Amino acid sequence: MKKIAIILVAAMLACMMTACGGEEKVHDFAVEDLAKDLRENIEYEDELTQSRDAVFYMIYGVDESLVKSQCSYFSTNATTEEISVVECVDKDAAETVKKAFEERVESQKNTFESYAPQEVDRLDKALITVMGNYVVLCVTSDVDRAMYVIDNY
């Protein structure tokens, strides 16, 4: 009888864990909030200033029709530090923006390797993550802290 009870309890627990495991977390936040938290809760070597929309689209080469909203901060001097948080119109658009972020990081590596090679290490660790329709790029020396901040969204 004990064996049957143990088997039933184990089966119930397995079913409960399976039912919960398949759900995808729904993200809904203001891009400005996450970008600001990344800027204020991570120590950067340089001052980061918020960019205008036109600068974002020019730098990343992203089509405006893919983006609902975005917030970006860029280094004011010669570092590669930057933050971009984008809410896209759908998951396909998010993948396109992710690719644009990856291309930006590669381009920055090529640019900085000749005159500021220490910046390439930071770019090698660049954090690019997709959360549903949101895409985040954070180029920082403190990737662990950036991941912690992002995980709270």
Domain spans in the chain, listed from the N-terminal domain onward: 25-151
Question: Alpha-carbon distance 94 to 78, whole Å?
Answer: 28
Q: Read off the amino acid at residue 28.
A: D
Examine the pLDDT at 4 and tell me if it is beyond 50. no
Average the pLDDT over 91-106 and give the result.
Answer: 99
Examine the pLDDT at 122 and tell me if it is beyond 90. yes
Binning pLDDT at 50, 70 and 90, where does residue 113 land?
Answer: very high
pTM score: 0.83
Strand partners, 130: 135
90-100: b (≥16 Cβ within 10 Å) or e: eeebbebbbeb
Dihedrals φ, ψ of 16, to 5°? -65, -40
Can you tell me whether residue 102 is helix, strand or coil?
A: helix
Stronger pLDDT, 8 or 148, i.e. the higher one: 148
